[in-house]
């Protein structure tokens, strides 16, 4: 966290990756420190789960997981449904108190995203699905524009 602070980044992106997010104990601890530095942060898939754990949320293993494309996800703010690509076996079951649910999976109503409640204090956003996925659905690429707006704010 201190090395990242020295770099003075405009934002931090936590990418996807395999495995049980709870096994990333050192990364979760460093992310706790980074969140206190108020650097705009965007988590995708495993990054989404690690953000939740670092801020006091909970993550559970899914019975089957979400795999492949064509998963309908609702963006709560936009009241719009998007088709997403997914590849994960864990899900956020408790959203941290400083965040709010921003996206839900319409197949099983699981959490698909979180955003800061107060963006003047924290600038955090996450998604469980893959807005960077290609080939496949690319209609959720707008999320990167939202993150850039968060950085500019």
Residues labelled as active-site residues:
45, 130, 132
Radius of gyration of the chain (CA): 14
Q: Give Cα 98 to chain centroid, integer Å.
A: 14
What's the full length of the chain, in residues? 153
Would you state the torsion angle of the CA atoms of residues 98, 104, 105, 106, taken in this order, to the nearest 10 degrees?
Answer: 160
- The runs of H, that is alpha helices, within 39-129 are 46-54
Angle at 153 between CA 123 and CA 31, to 5 degrees: 25
């Amino acid at each position: 966290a201190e090395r990242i602070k020295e770099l003075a980044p405009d934002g931090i992106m936590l990418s996807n990756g395999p495995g049980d997010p709870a096994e990333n104990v050192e990364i979760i601890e460093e992310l706790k420190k980074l969140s206190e530095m108020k650097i705009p942060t965007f988590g995708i898939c495993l990054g989404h789960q690690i953000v939740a754990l670092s801020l006091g949320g909970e993550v559970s293993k899914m019975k089957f997981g979400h795999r492949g494309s064509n998963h309908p996800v609702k963006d709560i703010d936009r009241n719009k449904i998007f088709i997403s690509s997914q590849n994960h076996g864990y899900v956020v079951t408790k959203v941290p108190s400083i965040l709010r649910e921003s996206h839900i999976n319409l197949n099983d109503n699981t959490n698909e995203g979180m955003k800061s409640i107060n963006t003047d204090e924290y600038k955090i956003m996450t998604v469980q699905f893959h807005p960077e996925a290609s080939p496949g659905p690319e209609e959720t690429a707008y999320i990167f524009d939202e993150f850039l707006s968060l950085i500019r704010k």
